[in-house]
Structure 1
Amino acid sequence: MVTGAGRAPQRSGVRHVLVTGASRGIGRAVAVRFAEAGHRIAVHYLARTADARRTLRLLPGEGHTLIQGDLSSPEECRTVVEESERALGGLEVVVNNAAIATSPALRHPVVGTDFATWTDTWAQFTNINLLGAAHVSWAAAQSMVASGVPGRIVNIGSRGAFRGELEHPAYAVTKAALHALGQSLAIALAPHGIAVTSIAPGFTATERVTERFGSEIPAGITAGSPFGRIATPDEIAAAVLYLASPEAEWASGAILDFNGASHLR
């Protein structure tokens, strides 16, 4: 077991990185950022095969791989981690990005939603956003501890965890729980030299947002930030790259607000 006292941060070499939900959006941007930094990437996806293959083609360097798996299944979570480690030749970094996001089709306000829809929607959000990340993190932790590597786990949370979501309460709750998971793991894994952090973005210009609103983001959304815009996936990816770096060990347990001053706490 690696002890933390007096240990200088390890300088980075080529690291092996699993990014869940990397077929597009923030996950794709994160995968590209890590590959540009010289690391090897396991691009996880569920069903968007063509998009995942495009992500793979965008990655500079060699040794990257595609990993398909349904993270609502605990066993598949473990398999995704094991296959990633085997294909890459190791595993030092996991970015828990896969999630069910808010959408008109998944609206479930407490008033106006029938009970069957309510329970089904909560199960969907919980199984992916929280339990999927928890099971992936468990499997990754076993690998990192056994290998003795100073690993990193970064969770992609949400601003919604702090301000609430009127029409998507399950999303807000599962993201808040994801942040809490990260803090619990940070305490548990620090003695092994493994740092765990979370980032809480606000609205981000992903394909999902474009599909929902078109090319023009509503003024009511962009006005939420004093910068008058929303984030780009690459901005979030740059922050994730830092949080996963050897130099960021002392950030373990942190939740990074990343919302352009649209929600302050």
Structure 2
Amino acid sequence: MTGGPVDDRTDHGLRELPATDRGVLVTGASRGIGRAIATAFAERGDRVAVHCTVRRADAERTLADLPGEGHILVSGDLTDPARVEALAAETEKALGGIDVLVNNAAVMVAHPLPSTSYADWQEAWRQTAAVNLFAPANLTHCVARHMITGRREGRVVNIGSRGAFRGEPDHPAYGATKAALHALGQSLAVSLAPHGIAVASVAPGFVATERVAGRLEGEEGERIRAQSPFGRVGTPQEVAAAVLHLASPAARWSSGTVLDVNGASHLRT
């Protein structure tokens, strides 16, 4: 039978996500995509924890520009498991609960194999894996356990990459760790569903941020824009819109998905 009313009750009597006023933790929110994501949640009435590791001045600007009230600034090295655990607890208390976690913080260290020494190769992999994979894995564990203990529905959205599918020849550790992050999200989508927690990932293509502004100039910029049939690159706001959707109550059934946000610059089959 179709066309009947939809039963939107949660399983096991969990508290549903509210339409607004959720507690949201966004890692790496000092600028770029993280700043756009934090702003998008604040604009819809959520309370946002703006995380930074080193760019505190930029994070303070992000925080100051957020609309609404109840936002906080949190800092800490996400590669330190003890700090991650404390950060999750501090944010949980300050926001009155974390309903949404966005794992956005990442590093991209150039290390093309033909021109990279073995020592530098190992260091690039160590640093990239620590930030892009182990940090979100640890933080998701800590935040999800708070959600489970509080018997609250929750959302986790990971910021992956198109590079997980098309390869990153100059940044192989980045492509590999983003692929692993997608796989982690899908594993946790199955594991956490009985607890009312949905997990999904966004895989952006090239996005115009402060970090890559120089690459969008001259001939290189023309080549990058030509990757998409739209003839341009993405914006942080377009990535934020995808995150906002996947974190919404309506997107519960999209748990486990990896959503491409790349302007048709890479099509998967």
TM-score (norm 2): 0.92
Identity, % of aligned positions: 58
1:47 counterpart = 2:50 = no
1:96 counterpart = 2:100 = no
1:31 to 13, 38, 60: 38
Q: CA deviation at 1:220?
A: 0.2
After superposition, the C-alpha distances for 1:91-125 in whole angstroms (9 at most, x for unaligned) are: 10000000003xxxx32122221110000000000
The within-5 A match list for 1:179-198 is 179-198=182-201
Q: CA deviation at 1:13?
A: 3.1
2:142 to 136, 139, 149: 139
Find the aligned partners of 1:153 and 1:113 in 2 and give their Cα distance.
35
2:113 to 110, 114, 118: 110
| Cα pair distance change 1:7/1:199, threshold 3 Å | same
- State the aligned residue count: 260
1:22 to 4, 21, 29: 29
Q: CA deviation at 1:83?
A: 1.3
Match of 1:130 in 2: 133
Runs of 4+ more than 6 Å apart:
5-9
Q: Counterpart of 1:119 in structure 2: which amino acid?
A: Q
Which deviates the most, 139-148 or 3-12? Answer: 3-12
Find the aligned partners of 1:8 and 1:264 in 2 and give their Cα distance.
38
1:237 counterpart = 2:244 = no
Q: Counterpart of 1:107 in structure 2: which amino acid?
A: A
1:68 to 63, 75, 86: 75
Q: Counterpart of 1:134 in structure 2: which amino acid?
A: A
1:249 counterpart = 2:256 = no
Find the aligned partners of 2:150 and 2:14 in 1 and give their Cα distance.
18
TM-score (norm 1): 0.93
| Cα pair distance change 1:220/1:40, threshold 3 Å | same
Match of 2:267 in 1: 264
Which deviates the most, 235-244 or 3-12? Answer: 3-12
2:213 to 210, 235, 241: 210
| Cα pair distance change 1:43/1:10, threshold 3 Å | closer
After superposition, the C-alpha distances for 1:161-181 in whole angstroms (9 at most, x for unaligned) are: 001111110000000000000
After superposition, the C-alpha distances for 1:206-260 in whole angstroms (9 at most, x for unaligned) are: 1111144459971100000000000000011011011001110000000001100
Contact preservation (8 Å) 1:11, 1:247: no
Stretches of structure 1 that go unaligned for 5 or more consecutive residues are: none
Q: Counterpart of 1:224 in structure 2: which amino acid?
A: Q
Find the aligned partners of 2:234 and 2:20 in 1 and give their Cα distance.
29
Find the aligned partners of 1:76 and 1:57 in 2 and give their Cα distance.
25
After superposition, the C-alpha distances for 1:26-68 in whole angstroms (9 at most, x for unaligned) are: 0000000000000000000011111000000111111100001
